[in-house]
Copies of this chain bind each other. A is one copy, B any other.
């Protein structure tokens, strides 16, 4: 791992803990085990460094796929949702900082929002596919269901450590319950096994 990557990784870490103004070049240099001057030699300015660090981090590929043709909606949605929740939870500090910087640094948000937008679209198509393949006769808007599930997962991933008293317990059962309620809400019957 060369110097440039070390600096980028350190910048992401420091930014996700301290935000933009709190990410001093001194702190980033220390975290990267590098001289402060080296940062300016590589990136020219703090702004340029942090912008590149955040963009790089928010373009990591992700993610579990949902099948084009649904087979077992409950199982498929559950494992997809758990993967998304874990991913959001791992990046929760960075996401919070990006959201906090919205007014002052909107270009960071343009990067950070792309993952959730793509996830919502993936979900939306899946719900359309569910109707097309006869899993439901309901005429509910697939975007409504997609937004609800994304919102719920996001809320759980970001908020559980902040306010555990307002979250269903245990954590491991939460996502399956979300999915079950949602599928019933759009009129998809359960596949087999009781209860």
Residues on A close to B: CB < 8 A? 17-19, 21-22, 93, 96-97, 99-104, 109, 113, 116-117, 120-121, 140-141, 143-148, 150-156, 158-159, 162-163, 165-169, 174, 177-178, 180-187
CB of B154 within 8 A of CB of A168, answer no
Distance (whole angstroms) from the CB of A190 to the closest CB of chain B = 13
CB of B166 within 8 A of CB of A120, answer yes
Q: Which residues of chain B are near A99, meaning CB under 8 Å? A: 96, 99-100, 158, 162
Task: Given A109-B162, A185-B181, A185-B185, verify A100-B155 contact (CB < 8 Å).
Answer: no
Copies in the complex: 2
The distance in angstroms between the C-alpha atoms of A17 and B104, with both chains bound, is 8
The distance in angstroms between the C-alpha atoms of A100 and B168, with both chains bound, is 24
Q: Which residues of chain B are near A159, meaning CB under 8 Å? A: 116, 151
Of all chain B residues, which has the CB nearest A195?
A: B139
Q: Can you report 10 A-B residue pairs in the complex whose CB atoms are below 8 A from each other? A: A18-B104, A93-B103, A116-B159, A116-B163, A144-B168, A144-B177, A147-B168, A148-B182, A150-B155, A152-B152
CB of B163 within 8 A of CB of A117, answer yes
Q: Which residues of chain B are near A150, meaning CB under 8 Å? A: 155, 166
